[in-house]
Amino acid sequence: MQGVLTGFVTIGAVIGLGILLAHLRVLDAASQSLLVRLSFFVASPALMITVLSEADISRVFSANLLASVISVVVAASGYLLLARLVWRRTAGDTVIGTFATAYVNAGNLGLPIAAYVLGDASLIAPMLLTQLLVLQPVGLAMLDMVTFRGRASITRWQQILRIFSRIVRNPLTVGSLVGLLLSVSGLQLPALIADPLHLVAGIAVPAMLLAYGVSLRLGPLPGAGEPPVQVGSIVALKLLVQPSCAYLAARLLGLDGLDLLAVTVIAALPTAQNVFTLAVRYNAGIILARDCIFVSTILSVPVLIVIAALLG
């Protein structure tokens, strides 16, 4: 328990440093963008290669993965029913709302928490793969169909190619797949490659946390525009229903100890920040995404602490 809390304090301290540096104008929006791009395109893929290449592949494709998938499906299904049957949201808003409900912040917060709180960065892999290989492609395919509906120039094959290209062009996906291939094959990278890779991978976590702190200081705050009931329902599904489902599924699948804690904690992470980017890109549910990210990020702190206290 003490180690878990120490991990949270470590992460909070670096995030707080990012907030302070932004407040003092040492870091600005351009700095945040640089940190995010450096982490997303270079350091995080390197981290996934180094972590997954040394991980036990049976732990990645195991009950942890199935429990993660179940938690995503249940939370997403709950919102879909509310959005379409009760609130009558548009198709685009429904997709963004579904992302806000089930797409966890596995990059900016998940990797640091797995590394420093859970003690094993590979524990984020099942949820990360679920999102990168299943949830994101399906959601983006739906957004593409809504966005390009009625455009004769966009064929079904072009839509399929668009979906596939997103998967193979995502740096985290590429890094994860390379790491998994190395783990499965048993190959070890030579020191001339492995040593620089580990050095670059070390940038990922502090860069993500600093950028996250800057975003909290400079990012948009929630305002009027979305019914509080809808925002509250999404946040409840995200922070209460999803981790509860992950916990129950993990218990039924026989997980305990660190694996049970990891599945539950990762499912309780707040809505990923890139959901707002997607909302802006497709001009759908922009305010909804912004408010859900802000509220779920703030409220996830006590939720994560409670889970760590109960299961740690």
- What pTM, to 2 d.p., does this model score? 0.74
Alpha-carbon distance values, 228 to 76, 102, 224 (Å): 19, 19, 9
- Whether 159 has a pLDDT exceeding 70, the answer reads no
What pLDDT score does 11 carry? 75
Which residues lie closer than 8 Å to 233 by C-beta, 6 or more apart?
79, 82
Rounded Cα–Cα distance for residues 74 and 86 (Å): 17
What pLDDT score does 4 carry? 56
Number of domains in the chain: 1
Rounded Cα–Cα distance for residues 105 and 268 (Å): 9
Contact call for residues 55 and 183 (beta carbons, < 8 A) = yes
| 59-64 mean pLDDT | 76
Least confident of 151-160, 228-237, 244-253: 151-160
| 18-38 mean pLDDT | 90
Q: 275: domain CATH number?
A: 1.20.1530.20
Residue 149's pLDDT band (cuts 50, 70, 90)? low
- Whether 165 has a pLDDT exceeding 90, the answer reads no
Q: How many residues does the chain have?
A: 312
Q: Which domain holds residue 19?
A: 2-311
Residue 244's pLDDT band (cuts 50, 70, 90)? very high
- Whether 187 has a pLDDT exceeding 60, the answer reads yes
